[in-house]
Structure 1
Amino acid sequence: MRLPDFLPSFPGLRLAPVLAASLLALAACAPLPAPSPVYTPAPDPVYEGQALSPSQAAQNFVAVVNRMEPVILSECLKRARGANCDYQIVVDDRPGQSPNAFQTLDEAGRPVIAFNLPLIAEVRNVDELAFVMGHEAAHHIAGHIPRQQQTASTGAILLGGLAAAYGYDEATVRSAQNIGAGLAGRAYAKNYELEADQLGTVIAWNAGFDPERGAMFFTRLPDPGDRFMGSHPPNAARVDIVRRTVADLRAGRGM
Structure 2
Amino acid sequence: MAARNFVAVVERLEPVAEQVCRANAPQLDCDFRIVVDDRPGQPANAFQTRDAQGRPLLAFTVALLGEVENADELAFVLSHEAAHHIAGHLDRQNRNAAIGATVFGQLASGLGGGNESVVRTAQQLGAGFGARSYSKDFELEADALGATIAERAGYDAIKGAQFFLRIPDPGDRLLGTHPPNAQRMDIVRQTVAGL
**Fold in common (TM above 0.5):** yes
For 2:126 and 2:43, locate their aligned partners in 1 and report how far apart those are by CA, in whole Å: 28
Structure 2: give runs of 5+ residues left out of the alignment: none
Which of 104, 128, 145 is the equivalent residue of 1:199? Answer: 145
Distance in 2, matches of 1:140 and 1:58, equals 24
CA distance in 1, matches of 2:45, 2:10: 17
Q: Amino acid of the residue matched to residue 117 of structure 1?
A: V
Alignment partner, residue 243 of structure 1? 189
Output the CA distance in 2 between the equivalents of 1:246 and 1:141.
19
Question: Partner residue of 1:217?
Answer: 163
Shift of 1:184: 1.1
Is 1:65 matched up with 2:10?
Answer: yes
Matches for 1:1-255 after TM superposition, within 5 Å? 57-166=2-111, 167-249=113-195
TM superposition shift of 1:168? 3.6
SS at match of 2:44: coil
- The one-letter amino acid of 1:187's match is S
Larger of the two Rg values belongs to structure: 1
Deviation at 1:108, TM superposition (A): 1.8
Tell me the SS of whatever aligns to 2:74.
helix
Secondary structure of the residue aligned to 1:86 is coil
1:82: Cα distance to partner?
Answer: 1.1
**Aligned length, in residue pairs:** 194
SS at match of 1:98: coil
Q: TM-score normalized by structure 1?
A: 0.75
Runs of 4+ in 1 over 6 A off after TM superposition: none
* Deviations 1:158-197, CA, capped at 9 Å, x for gaps: 1101111221410110000000110111010000000000
CA–CA distance in structure 1, aligned partners of residues 180 and 108 of structure 2: 34
Give the C-alpha shift of residue 229 in structure 1. 1.8
| Offset at residue 60 of structure 1 (A) | 1.3
Cα separation, 2, equivalents of 1:155 and 1:97: 29
- Partner-residue secondary structure (3-state), 1:102: strand
Paired letter, 2:82: A
Q: Which structure 1 residue ranges, 5 or more long, are not aligned?
A: 1-51, 250-255
SS of residue matched to 1:135 = helix
Q: How big is the alpha-carbon RMSD for the aligned residues of Structure 1 and Structure 2? A: 0.8
CA distance in 2, matches of 1:163, 1:125: 50
Aligned to 1:184, what secondary structure does the other structure show?
A: helix
- Structure-2 separation of matches of 1:108 and 1:153: 22
Q: CA deviation at 1:107?
A: 2.0
In the alignment, the residues of structure 1 paired with residue 61 and residue 132 of structure 2 have an alpha-carbon distance, to the nearest angstrom, of: 24
| TM superposition score normalised by structure 2 | 0.97
Distance in 2 between the 1:169 and 1:224 partners? 37
